[in-house]
Structure 1
């Protein structure tokens, strides 16, 4: 038996009224209790205008392509209002499961006024959902595979040369490291984080080949790093080592950092050098330095 009929607010047509009247009278004829009718308010844009099919940002597939999780999108819409107990006295955002939302819904809390979406809150909900997935072993495994596919698609030209860091352990480390830096998985393939997956190209390393002394510095720091135990390859310990190396070689610390940043990531700006080394790991860092040294030697030979 149908007990409640919830209809989205819209312009009422004559046929709509006729259908409802028929249902009411038919229910009475059979001795049933007629359903209770309720009309939900519209969901509007932040400026108060109506959502339109012509707007790309109301299509679910667009959000999926952008890396928005289903549960994050659901909570984003629910956050606008519409009869959920959690709206009462809420102080901060959180992700609610479908079952929790079902339990919280109360038709008496539905207001006649329209709800307005707040686009800037969607990244927050997606970030919260990402954190919850990272805390779940099964969800984490699925995220690793999703990131692997994302990176492979983005850098497919490098994949053919087996020139991508796609080991599961590395991806897990990246996900945990980046959870305070990103709001969606697609952020991981932005140009400023490409170093996580891609070895700097020869073209990118051209700047460090202009000074022949850089070769000796890279070889020396590579030797120092290779002597560390894996457990010592941590940010704070690396900072201490790099400072000591700078002092010993009488090389300005800023100059050393600029050189290492270029050699390891090909970037002029970004995370700290010790932080990049930690996330790449000892094997990954040494491989990047070996690559930079090889490029410099080739350049000097062909000069």
Structure 2
């Protein structure tokens, strides 16, 4: 290395950069076995490959003057250098495997859309100078430029990735790469492994997908909000819900007698809905009957608990669609039997 002066070069993102030569140590180019070190092999390979742009993380910035001096020593054309900012966790620490998934393959395996991942990665440390957040490949080719990449580290915000993925779930016409929804296949496989049996698998999968904030929450939501899904026992029978009868009582009910009247009414309302129009009419009928009560909770709360066994779940009409008429009536009867 020179003992005096500075080594200057240009970085597309950071502009002109200089390093004092007297602060840089001499470095090894050939090892004792005759093989080159990375610094030498790297620039020889790039030169022979006619590399025009070197794009790498900012941690390589301090090594760049060594590479620049080698290019100049060989009288070779220097490539353009582009040192990208680091990817950071939300706590501003460097993104690493120890703190979560970091590979594209892993996010694809979890069920994220390729379109969401590409869109998300493009926005890590870059923006087009507008409010636009959804980009097609054509948009990115047209809008992207290295000059608009930020110098500071980019935060890997999983909430933003989940938001983008939800967009592509709800806007299938905007997907340019994915024909099948990878999350749908993942949900179906998981339900099968859990011995879940439902009347309409597509309706069930759609309901689950809409409640997810991200594919990585599938197991959690199946164990909480969708714990009500019918599960087969080893003998082929369907497991019964297990919940205390007190949970059925709406806060404005005075006693169990009032609860029983409400459940009996619910059973009659549901029994009168023809099987053939169950999925299309059960929600409207329930909402109309509940509104007639004055306090919708008098009807919808005990129905929610009877069908789900819990306080927090999808709406009772949505559950009734998923379960189908037969299983819905069976669960309401079970609730009546608890009183």
Q: Report the TM-score when normalising by structure 1.
A: 0.66
Question: What is the alpha-carbon distance in structure 2 between the residues aligned to residue 132 and residue 166 of structure 1?
Answer: 26
Question: What is the alpha-carbon distance in structure 2 between the residues aligned to residue 255 and residue 102 of structure 1?
Answer: 56
TM-aligned CA distance change 1:242 to 1:56, over 3 Å: closer
Structure 1 stretch displaced more, 205-214 or 259-268: 205-214
Aligned to 1:51: 95
Q: How many residue pairs were aligned?
A: 271
Aligned to 1:132: 171
Q: How do 1:290-301 and structure 2 match up within 5 A?
A: 290-293=330-333
State the secondary structure of the residue aligned to 2:268.
helix
Aligned to 1:225: 273
Aligned to 1:191: 224
Q: How do 1:83-94 and structure 2 match up within 5 A?
A: 87-94=127-134
Query: Cα distance, 1:6 vs. partner?
Result: 1.5
TM-aligned CA distance change 1:228 to 1:38, over 3 Å: closer
**Contact 1:43/1:115, CA 8 A, preserved across alignment:** yes
State the secondary structure of the residue aligned to 1:10.
helix
Larger Rg: 1 or 2? 2
**Contact 1:261/1:273, CA 8 A, preserved across alignment:** yes
Q: How do 1:149-164 and structure 2 match up within 5 A?
A: 149-153=189-193, 156=194, 159=195, 163-164=196-197
Aligned to 1:267: 310
TM-aligned CA distance change 1:256 to 1:78, over 3 Å: same
Encode CA deviations 1:28-65: one digit per residue, 9 max, x unaligned: 4xxxx543222223233444433344322545566567
Structure 1 stretch displaced more, 65-74 or 265-274: 65-74
State the secondary structure of the residue aligned to 1:225.
coil
**Contact 2:55/2:82, CA 8 A, preserved across alignment:** yes
State the secondary structure of the residue aligned to 1:195.
coil
Aligned to 2:185: 145
For the pair 1:3 / 2:52, whether they are aligned, the reply is yes
Cα RMSD, aligned residues only: 4.2
Query: Cα distance, 1:233 vs. partner?
Result: 0.9
Q: Report the TM-score when normalising by structure 2.
A: 0.61
Q: Among 17, 32, 40, which residue is 2:84 paired with?
A: 40
State the secondary structure of the residue aligned to 2:191.
helix
Q: Among 274, 278, 286, which residue is 1:238 paired with?
A: 286
Kindly indicate which of the two structures has a greater share of residues assigned to helix: 1
Aligned to 2:329: 289
Question: What is the alpha-carbon distance in structure 2 between the residues aligned to residue 89 and residue 12 of structure 1?
Answer: 26
**Higher relative contact order, chain-length normalized (CA < 8 Å, sep 6+):** 1
Query: Cα distance, 1:144 vs. partner?
Result: 3.0
State the secondary structure of the residue aligned to 2:163.
helix
Aligned to 2:20: none
For the pair 1:204 / 2:252, whether they are aligned, the reply is no
Structure 2 residues without counterparts, runs of 5 or longer: 1-49, 232-237, 250-255
Encode CA deviations 1:184-231: one digit per residue, 9 max, x unaligned: 243552512333565772423755697694674454233223478447
Query: Cα distance, 1:261 vs. partner?
Result: 1.5
Q: Among 301, 305, 309, which residue is 1:258 paired with?
A: 301
TM-aligned CA distance change 1:255 to 1:134, over 3 Å: farther
Query: Cα distance, 1:294 vs. partner?
Result: 5.6
**Contact 1:23/1:34, CA 8 A, preserved across alignment:** yes
